[in-house]
Structures are given as structure tokens and as C-alpha cells.
Amino acid sequence: MIDLKTKIRDIPDFPKPGVIFKDITPLLGDPWAFEQVINTFEERYRDQRVGAVLGTESRGFIFGAPLALRLSVPFIPVRKPGKLPFNTLDQSYELEYGTDSLEVHVDAMKPGVAAVVVDDLLATGGTAEATVSLARKLGAEVIEAAFVIELEFLSGREKLGDVDVYSMVRY
């Protein structure tokens, strides 16, 4: 097992001054490290009753889709407005540097499905909170929100309330 922090690069002042962006590109460029992340997620959820994986645009797709494939469950993309071609539900949220909203197809899953929300990073929790809210609007039981990285000093997990949070790397 490698130290994943060695595969995450800090980019100062991106996307705006004062923000230190955690760049996962080096992790993705190392097939062994990337596989280690997917394997870790798979091992965590393999014996649970997960029925769907929701991945938040765009880096949540990178980790959520292979996890869903490994678990043999549907992958549900949660996207920025106007990107999904069918009827959608939407949820607004606040970022650490602005506001935005997310959408999901209205027929993405059946009510009662146990779901995992996956993204690359938990910061202030706005994006994760919006994704959990969308899953619940669809009738899902969100069993956990999973992240490669968590910026603990931003207290994002507090926004998720009763949802369990799993993160591989914490800063």
C-alpha cells in the first residue's frame, strides 16, 4: 500500500487566490495508485447491500464508475445543469468559492435503493450535501459518502448530518 498523499499535488491559488487545489492528476497517472483507490472502495462496499453508486461531476465519475462496475450495480451521474438529456431533479448548493447546482435524471433509481455517493474531495461539503439530497429525492437510502480526499479543516462532514463519511486521505 502506497501513501496516496505522495500522489496528490498541491496547486496554490487555483481556481482563485488563497485556495490550495488538491490535484489528483498524478494519482490518475499512476495505474497502480489508481487501482489501489478503486480496490479500497470495492473492499469497503463489497459485502454491503449497495444497489447504486452516485458520482458527482466530474471527478466523482472517475472513481464512482469503476466502483459501480466492480460492485455490479448501476452508476448514476450527478451533473451540472443542462448536461443531462432527460427530465431532471435539481439541487442548489454553496461551494467554498461560489454557488452552483446539480441535477440527476428523475428515473435514475428506484426508491429504497441503498446508495453510496462518491467524489474525489470533501471540502466544505456543499457538493456532497447536494448529491445526498438528490439521492434522497429519488428515494435512495444513502449509506455512506466516500471520498479519496477530505479537507478536515473545512468541516464538510458536518453538512452531511446523519450520513456516514469515509475518506482515504485527510488534510
Alpha-carbon distance 135 to 129, whole Å? 10
All three cell numbers of 142, joined, read 444513502
Instruction: Return phi, psi of residue 23, to 5°.
Output: -90, 120
Q: Which sequence positions are flagged as catalytic?
A: 59, 96
β-pairing, 88-95 with 98-105? antiparallel
The secondary structure element, H or E, covering residue 25 is helix 25-28
Q: Who contacts 153 (Cβ-Cβ below 8 Å, separation ≥6)?
A: 171
Alpha-carbon distance 149 to 147, whole Å? 5
